[in-house]
Amino acid sequence: MVFAPDTEVALRSVVGLINTAANGEEQLATVEDLDRFLAAEGFTGSRTRDAAELASVHRLRAELAALWLAGEGAAVETVNRLLREARALPQLVKHDQWDWHLHATTPEAPLADRMSTEAAMALVDVIRSKEMDRMLVCAAEDCDAVVLDLSRNRSKRYCDTGNCANRAHVAAYRARKAAS
């Protein structure tokens, strides 16, 4: 394990959110799509379930995608701004199936604020640990999905959105066979 368990969960959620727009495909087109995404990621708290909430999550997704590719200085600025805008006040909480973990907003805070704060808190750990090199873009030439490399030997290069790794390995095999 590279980070605390709740940090890894939050980072995986960030990857999941960013990748809902990978490769030109919009996977959060409707409020129902957002409902499914949030249920799969285990997000709790109040919801308005309207177009404005969906739009705020789209804006957050774009910010997080830009942050994923940013250098350390720009990432710090974005993380600090996200925490400031949400008026983050970190607290240890335990609820549902989750053991002790950090929340920095109330369950009544707007969804995008809760999501941005959770992402920012996780990214604080990444930045402080000097581990931003674990935040990658898929190595497949035809894929722009993001990758979180939590492997011990820093070997993860392909996303989890499709079959990028398999396609790359098959292509390399075929190239080796053709060369011999």
How high is the mean pLDDT in each 10-residue block of the chain (180 residues)?
Answer: 88 98 96 97 94 98 97 96 92 86 88 95 96 96 95 94 87 88
| Pick from 99, 68, 104: nearest CA to 85 | 104
Which pLDDT does position 162 carry in this prediction?
78
Work out the number of other CB atoms within 10 angstroms of the CB of residue 62: 12
The model's pTM is 0.89
**Tokens 């640990």 label which residue?**
129
Phi-psi region of 101 (alpha: psi -120 to 50; beta: other; left: phi over 0): beta
- Written as six digits, the tokens of 67 are 């942050």
The per-residue pLDDT for 1 is 62
pLDDT at 31: 98
Measured in degrees and rounded to the nearest 5, phi and psi for residue 130 equal 55, 45
